[in-house]
Amino acid sequence: MGNKNVADIRRLLLAAYDAGKRSLPWREETDPYRIWVSEVMLQQTRVETVIPYYERWLERFPDIEALAEAQDDDVLRAWQGLGYYSRARRLHQGARIVKERYSGTLPRNSEGLRELPGVGQYTAGAVASIAFGEAVPALDGNVKRVFSRLFDLVDPTPADLQGLGQDLVDRERPGDFNQALMELGALTCLPRTPRCEECPLETQCLALARGTVGERPSTRPRKTIPEKDVDVLVASAEDGKGGFHFLLRKRPDKGLLAGMWEFPDVGLFPEEELGMDPTDPEPLPMPAVSHTFSHLKVRYRPRLLRGKLTATDLTPPTTTLHATRWVPLGGLDRLPLPVAQQKIAREAMRLLGV
Ligand code: SF4
């Protein structure tokens, strides 16, 4: 890549960005915390989905201090529906570290930012370039695709791509340049149908010149995701005063959906330990709910058990149930429930007529 190409790519890309960039709530933002939040939310989620979450999040946790002091459940609850919940937990841990170790101020370069949980090369590059003007690249999946076409690369290593990004990033406007590249990948250099005729880099693109756009990036066969069935017990009980309660369990602090709440697996404990008198001889089968995680597809098969509460302190008594709690209907809104569990709860309430 010659100096002229580099200069042309920077100029063309920034001119197109200035002329037609999307107006997004985090654009023109200078507060590093807000940029950090937007970048973490955008990691695996589409822009349109992120916008309302981003705005609500900042109302709830307007600065690092507010996030650092928040309760785990409140943080997960604000993230509820965005998926990949480890991002929320790491952001929360990161805010606590920034508060304790850095007196509430984010480290001002990519190297320092990478010390924070959940901040990898991409996020560090994006925050450092946008918030602090550091000339470092920020390569998301879209930008990697643009590079493999722009430079007609067959099988680039992450180090190759990072090196190209470092050479290319505009020294004066690194944040805008990185956002311009991401925008190009998201809107123009699309995976299946790139819009080369509208592309500001049309004259620079090697794959276009060589007729190899359709082969870049070279595709590897998709891995099939394993599937798993989970039998779920939706235990619901009246408390004798007209109130309804659901039995919910908090997931462990590590692993999939850590710290979120859910209806427990049927096999987790014996029915006689629930603290309720069932009114049905057998739990009622409910429609299955499927959810695909990044590495696993789960089909939840819920069954509804109705009854009356016998427990007085609403804490099931055995150690197997230590993370399990009877939650009144009105309390469901205050607990972080994954999307599939919300669907199960809604269907159960419909069947119960509550
Ligand atoms: S010319 Fe086409 S393939 Fe090349 S960068 Fe632009 S959109 Fe992508």
The CATH number assigned to the domain holding 123 equals 1.10.340.30
- pLDDT surpassing 60 at residue 319: no
Amino acid letter at 43?
Q
Count of the separate structural domains present in the chain: 2
204 and 292 share a domain? no
Give the ligand 1 atom nearest the CA of 195: 7
pLDDT in tens, 26-60: 998 889 999 999 999 998 889 999 999 999 999 99
Q: Are strands 297-309 and 227-238 parallel, antiparallel or unpaired?
A: parallel
Integer Cα distance of 196 and 214 in angstroms? 11
pLDDT of amino acid 225 = 85
- Residue numbers of the domain that contains 16: 3-215
- pLDDT surpassing 90 at residue 253: no
Integer Cα distance of 37 and 44 in angstroms? 13
DSSP 68-103: HHS-HHHHHHHHTTS--THHHHHHHHHHHHHHHHST
- The half-sphere exposure of 58 on its side-chain side, counting CA atoms within 13 A, is 17
pLDDT in tens, 58-97: 999 999 999 999 999 999 999 999 988 999 999 999 999 9
Q: Is residue 194 part of a domain?
A: yes
Contact 312, 264 (CB under 8 A): no
Contact 259, 248 (CB under 8 A): no
283 and 305 share a domain? yes
pLDDT of amino acid 316 = 57
pLDDT of amino acid 59 = 97
pLDDT of amino acid 221 = 62
Mean pLDDT of 124-136: 97
Q: Is residue 18 part of a domain?
A: yes
pLDDT in tens, 134-164: 999 999 999 999 999 999 999 899 999 999 9
Higher-confidence position of 10 and 222: 10
196 and 272 share a domain? no
Residue nearest to atom 4 of ligand 1 (CA): 205
CA distance readout (Å), 157 to 127, 144, 260, 328: 23, 10, 36, 53
Contact 282, 324 (CB under 8 A): no
- Sign of dihedral through CA atoms 11, 13, 18, 19? positive
Integer Cα distance of 339 and 322 in angstroms? 24
The two tokens of residue 171 are 């020294």
265 and 126 share a domain? no
Looking at 223-296, which runs of residues are DSSP E strands?
A: 227-238, 244-250, 261-262, 276-278, 284-285, 289-292
The CATH number assigned to the domain holding 287 equals 3.90.79.10
pLDDT of amino acid 269 = 62
11 and 51 share a domain? yes
Minimal CA–CA distance to 349: which of 325, 336, 326, 332? 332
What pTM, to 2 d.p., does this model score? 0.76
**Ligand 1: which residues within 6 Å by Cβ?**
146, 149-150, 188-189, 194-196, 199, 201-202, 205, 207-208, 213
- Residue of 39, 134, 238, 262 marked active site: 39
Phi/psi for 339 (5° steps) reads -55, -45
195 C-alpha to ligand 1 centroid (Å)? 7
pLDDT of amino acid 317 = 46
210 and 268 share a domain? no
39 is catalytic: yes
pLDDT of amino acid 126 = 96
311 C-alpha to ligand 1 centroid (Å)? 65
pLDDT classification of 293: cutoffs 50, 70, 90: confident
238 and 174 share a domain? no
Amino acid letter at 81?
G
Minimal CA–CA distance to 237: which of 322, 341, 320, 312? 312
The two tokens of residue 236 are 């619901």
Average pLDDT score over the chain:
90
pLDDT in tens, 99-111: 999 999 999 999 9
291 and 158 share a domain? no
Q: Are strands 244-250 and 324-328 parallel, antiparallel or unpaired?
A: antiparallel
- pLDDT surpassing 80 at residue 240: yes
- pLDDT surpassing 70 at residue 268: no
